[in-house]
């Protein structure tokens, strides 16, 4: 594989994190191009849609976090071969992306507007997805979202769950996941203690 450069915020989370995690799991060297929130206005000018993550690959800037995650996951052995298991994997990734998009729309709100918007998202889409993820995980045997093994869907869910549990998001109680989605909380702990994921954060 040619040189890979991943451009994303300097944070251990968000849309860029599953890409970094997959590359780490496959032992692939990459340029981890991180920037601060203050630098975003400048960085986005050089991206195709004014958005990140962007991955430079084969001399081309490639966008869309889930597409990128799947591309690397296929090479890392972290994407199902079976078409139905792949569908289950994609479904989880896209469902999380939908809610992430809704939460993203609140990031620059303040005061009452922020409180109202977040409370509406908690009562609606977040409650819905937490219950759905919990039920789906349980139906798949309780450990992983697809193929009975770690896939890119687990990495995406891990990053999302960690974000919700972090307490970093005002008006999103850190207790939501423990209260609503115990199987998802156990999944978070399972992925956190996976040796490859552990070694990334060490
Ligand atoms: N569809 C894109 C969405 C990327 C996206 O919205 N990224 C956020 C940061 S996590 C961003 O750059 N937002 C700025 C904007 O949309 O104007 C993807 O899947 O990668």
**Could you tell me the CA-to-CA distances from 24 to 28, 166, 195 in Å, in that order?**
6, 23, 12
pLDDT score of 195 more than 90: yes
23, containing H or E segment:
helix 17-25
User: Quick one: pLDDT band at residue 169, thresholds 50, 70, 90?
Assistant: very high
Chain segment 141-161, per-residue pLDDT in tens: 999 999 999 999 999 999 999
| Mutation pick for ligand 1 pocket among 8, 10, 13, 15 (CB with most ligand atoms within 8 Å) | 15
**Could you tell me the CA-to-CA distances from 135 to 3, 100, 158, 180, 182 in Å, in that order?**
40, 20, 16, 11, 10
Closest protein CA for atom 14 of ligand 1: 51
Determine what percent of the chain is predicted with pLDDT higher than 70. 100
Kindly state if the Cβ of 47 falls inside 6 Å of ligand 1.
no
pLDDT reported for residue 1: 59
Kindly state if the Cβ of 52 falls inside 6 Å of ligand 1.
yes
- Sheet containing 5-9, strands listed edge to edge, beginning at the edge strand earlier in sequence: 31-35, 5-9, 54-57, 60-62
Please, which residues have CB within 8 angstroms of residue 145's CB and are 6 or more apart in sequence?
A: 88, 89, 92, 136, 137, 151, 153, 154, 157
Could you give the domains of the chain?
5-76 (3.40.30.10), 83-201 (1.20.1050.10)
Query: Cα(188) to centroid of ligand 1, in Å?
Result: 24
What one-character DSSP code corresponds to residue 115? H
| Mutation pick for ligand 1 pocket among 47, 52, 94, 105 (CB with most ligand atoms within 8 Å) | 52
Kindly state if the Cβ of 13 falls inside 6 Å of ligand 1.
no
Kindly state if the Cβ of 125 falls inside 6 Å of ligand 1.
no
User: Quick one: pLDDT band at residue 2, thresholds 50, 70, 90?
Assistant: confident
pTM of this prediction?
0.97
Please give the Cα distance from 149 to 141 (Å, whole number). Answer: 10
Chain segment 56-86, per-residue pLDDT in tens: 998 999 999 999 999 999 999 999 999 999 9
- Residue 52 alpha carbon, nearest atom of ligand 1: 12
pLDDT reported for residue 27: 96
């Amino acid at each position: 594989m040619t040189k890979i450069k991943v451009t994303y915020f300097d944070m251990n989370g968000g849309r860029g994190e599953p890409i970094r995690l997959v590359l780490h799991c496959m032992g692939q060297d990459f340029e981890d191009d991180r920037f601060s929130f203050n630098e975003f206005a400048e960085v986005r000018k050089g991206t195709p849609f004014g958005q990140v993550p962007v991955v430079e690959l084969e001399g081309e800037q490639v966008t869309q976090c889930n597409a990128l995650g799947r591309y690397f996951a296929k090479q890392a052995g972290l994407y199902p071969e079976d078409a139905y298991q792949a569908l289950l994997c994609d479904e989880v990734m896209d469902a999380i992306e939908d809610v992430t998009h809704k939460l993203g729309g609140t990031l620059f709100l303040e005061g009452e507007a922020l409180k109202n918007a977040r409370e509406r998202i908690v009562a609606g889409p977040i409650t819905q997805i937490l219950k759905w993820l919990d039920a789906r995980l349980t139906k798949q045997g309780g450990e992983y979202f697809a193929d009975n093994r770690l896939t890119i869907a687990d990495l995406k869910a891990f990053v999302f769950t960690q974000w919700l549990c972090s307490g970093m998001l005002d008006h999103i109680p850190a207790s939501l996941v423990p209260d609503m989605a115990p199987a998802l909380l156990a999944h978070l702990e399972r992925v956190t203690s996976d040796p490859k994921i552990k070694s990334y954060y060490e």
